[in-house]
């Protein structure tokens, strides 16, 4: 079984059975996974409605985390 960030993410969703299909279809990074829609889930083979909802909810949380982090920045300049 592949061990990568997508596998770990799916494992936290209790859906690790889809990890190989995700990677085989090019979803090997969470940045790419943020773009998943219903046609993508069809191609990956996620047919169970409950599983689809769980993935859509997790994608929404990933996007929200990005929005929160977008306001953060770091500087190497010393602050006065």
CA 49, 53, 55 angle in degrees (round to 5)? Answer: 115
| Domain boundaries of the chain, sorted by first residue | 5-72
Note the pLDDT of residue 71: 59
pLDDT at 1: 43
CATH annotation of 5-72: 1.10.150.50
C-alpha 80/C-alpha 4 separation (Å) is 42
What does the pLDDT look like over 51-68, one tens digit per residue? 999 999 999 999 888 777
**pLDDT of res. 66:** 77
pTM for this predicted structure? 0.78
**CB neighbours of 9 closer than 8 A, spacing ≥ 6?**
30, 33, 58
Residue for token pair 């494992």: 11
Alpha-carbon dihedral angle through residues 51, 48, 60, 19, given to the nearest 10 degrees: 60
Chunked into runs of 10 residues, the chain (80 residues) has average pLDDT values of 80 96 93 94 96 96 79 60
For residue 68, what are the CA distances in angstroms to 7, 36, 40, 59, 65? 24, 20, 26, 14, 5
Q: What's the confidence (pLDDT) of residue 67?
A: 73
Q: How high is the pLDDT of residue 2?
A: 47
């Amino acid at each position: 079984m592949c061990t990568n960030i997508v596998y770990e993410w799916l494992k936290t969703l209790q859906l690790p059975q889809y990890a190989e299909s995700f990677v085989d279809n090019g979803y090997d990074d969470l940045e790419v996974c943020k773009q998943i829609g219903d046609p993508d889930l069809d191609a990956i083979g996620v047919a169970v409605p409950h599983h689809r909802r769980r993935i859509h909810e997790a994608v929404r949380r990933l996007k929200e985390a990005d929005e929160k982090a977008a306001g953060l920045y770091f500087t190497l300049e010393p602050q006065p």
